[in-house]
Amino acid sequence: MLTTKVAQILDLHLNLTVEEIENYLEHPPRPEMGDIAFPCFTLAKHLKKSPAVIAAELAASIQHPEVTVQAAGPYVNFFFNRSLATEAILTQLNHPDYGKLSIGEGKKVVIDMSSPNIAKPFGVGHLRSTVIGAALYRMYKAAGYNTVNVNHLGDWGTQFGKQITAYKRWGDDVKLAEEPIRESLRLYVKFHDEEENDPTLGPEAREWFRKLEQGDEEAVRLWTYFVEISMQEFERMYKRLGVDFDHVLGESFYIDKTEGIVTKLKQSGLLIESDEALVVPLEEEGMPPCLIIKKDGTTIYPTRDLATAFYRREEMGADEILYVVGAEQKLHFQQVFAVLNKLGEPWAKDCIHVPFGLMKFEGRKMSTRRGKVVFLEEVLDEAVQRAREIIKLKNPNLPNAEEVAEQVGIGAIVFGDLKNHRLNEVDFSLEEALSFEGETGPYVQYSYARIQSLLTKAELTISDRNTDLGDALNEITISDSAWSLLKHLSRYPEYLKKAVRLKEPSVLAKYVIDAAQLFNRFYHHERILDGEPGELSYKLSLVKVTGESIQNIMTLLGVKTPDRM
């Protein structure tokens, strides 16, 4: 908002477009350095003058009622008339379409996310793909894209041969009925433990998967059972996390489409035999060969992911396909995208791996093969219980305490993940995530609840708070704390644009943390409910739009904002 205004002013004095100027503008770190700064380094070569001289001449040439302009070395610093700018900012923040972008207009993005493996517990390790993918889904939609999310379940592959083999050898139907997921995990772990000393287990598992691909009745029956019990587990977790899917299509959905991929690769002359298997050589791309058909004739991940990519492009109409999958799968996606390139598909460039770092729990890496799994449900339950205890201590008479405890506990987990840069490794700490101080979800939620309390105490309607602000603002001194908050709120569209461009929810998490901190500074520095009617109207307008901004961004991140805490 303010950057656009400065760019428009400078456009009258520079041989640059408004968009080019906006890209150069900076936000000074200290108030005395201005609200917006234009560095003149890029003009020096063309004008054959020093940046400082250019800045001085440019500052002297600008006369505008909304800004004061000063040169400081190589920078031109712009100081806004706070009264005029405050009215403009509040007007825009109150507009129903404020913050909505059109950068994705006419484009469809398909987001592959969550994708847990069937017959495995929904562990803390699955959290990142789920909440990062869900945040991207909402962010892209807010930026104007037609968004579609797909839960690409891991419901096919040799692992099911292992699961069936383990069930056949050591399965207990009574235990499976009582605790289907935990018993399935026990069987899977036992398979890997026994495999070290029993050389027959591996071939037996591969044979069961071969039978499954060929439609063997017993193999399909057992596979169907494991899928059904797993989906019941997953749905419970998704409901608590507030995550929905447009499509739940596992790897098995694409099995009948892999034959067409193999045929396409053969016809293109890309498929060669290697050690009895069929591969696409990728040495020229600096990668090992991409395995398409294993020596036993069964498909593998790349085969199914190639079929998936074609389906999403041709049947779903995707302009862009995002794969929100851990960074450890980097080579896999490089190989799949390289094969698409070799097939001459121009849309291969629009297939994008969105990697994220490993999540550990108190320093431990999760592994379903060894049974080292921290069940997400247990973590969510513990988070909600701790939130419940905090609420009981701080606000024992809260009427909807159980609902708020769920919102705070789950919100702490989700926000505690998303505030991290997605490529960073996360060592999850429940105690840190649930803190009401610092850069946490509960801190932001509490700030929002404080705002709602203020508005309730004011007992004013929205229209009362927004009347005749222009005249009132001419008589009011806009404090530094209020001005800092206003400037930050006005920058939301550029933060959203950046978050989408980088595919990085932490950009918005950082933005909303800063918004909460700036509001609390404003809250502590000013007596918000005191003052003449005009001053009160202005301050409550600022409080209201701050609350709406915080709620909007927390919703994009997948975190609820209770009105009372």
CB contact at 8 A, 81 and 121: no
Residues 194, 201: Cα–Cα separation, whole Å = 8
Helix axes 158-170 and 217-241, enclosed angle (nearest 10): 110
- Which distant-in-sequence residues (6+ apart) come within 8 Å of 16 by Cβ? 10, 24
Joined together, the tokens standing for residue 31 give 């108030």
Joined together, the tokens standing for residue 186 give 């026990």
Measuring CA to CA, which residue among 133, 96, 207, 560 is closest to residue 356?
Answer: 133
Residues 254, 302: Cα–Cα separation, whole Å = 12
**Phi and psi, residue 206, nearest 5°:** -65, -35
- Residue 527: CB atoms within 10 A of its CB come to 8
Residues 512, 441: Cα–Cα separation, whole Å = 10
pLDDT at site 371? 47
Residues 427, 435: Cα–Cα separation, whole Å = 16
Residues 230, 478: Cα–Cα separation, whole Å = 57
Q: Which CATH superfamily is domain 2-80 in?
A: Arginyl tRNA synthetase N-terminal domain (3.30.1360.70)
Q: Looking at the chain, how many residues does it have?
A: 565
By CB atoms closer than 10 A (0-12, 13-18, 19+), residue 96 is exposed
Between β-strands 351-354 and 290-293, what pairing exists: parallel, antiparallel or unpaired? unpaired
β strands within 35-187, DSSP E: 36-39, 67-72, 75-80, 108-113, 146-151
Residue type, 108: K
CB contact at 8 A, 48 and 41: no
- Which distant-in-sequence residues (6+ apart) come within 8 Å of 412 by Cβ? 383, 387, 430, 433, 434, 440, 441, 442
Q: What is the mean pLDDT of each run of 10 residues along the chain (565 residues)?
A: 95 93 94 96 91 96 96 97 94 90 96 92 86 98 98 90 95 89 89 93 93 93 92 92 96 93 96 95 96 90 96 98 96 98 98 92 55 77 94 92 97 96 88 91 97 87 53 84 97 97 98 98 93 88 96 98 95
Give the Cα-Cα-Cα angle 108, 114, 119 (nearest 5 degrees): 140
Say which CATH class 376-557 falls into.
mainly alpha
**Phi and psi, residue 292, nearest 5°:** -110, -50
pLDDT at site 364? 56
Residues 377, 255: Cα–Cα separation, whole Å = 31
- Which distant-in-sequence residues (6+ apart) come within 8 Å of 58 by Cβ? 10, 13, 14, 38, 40, 71, 76
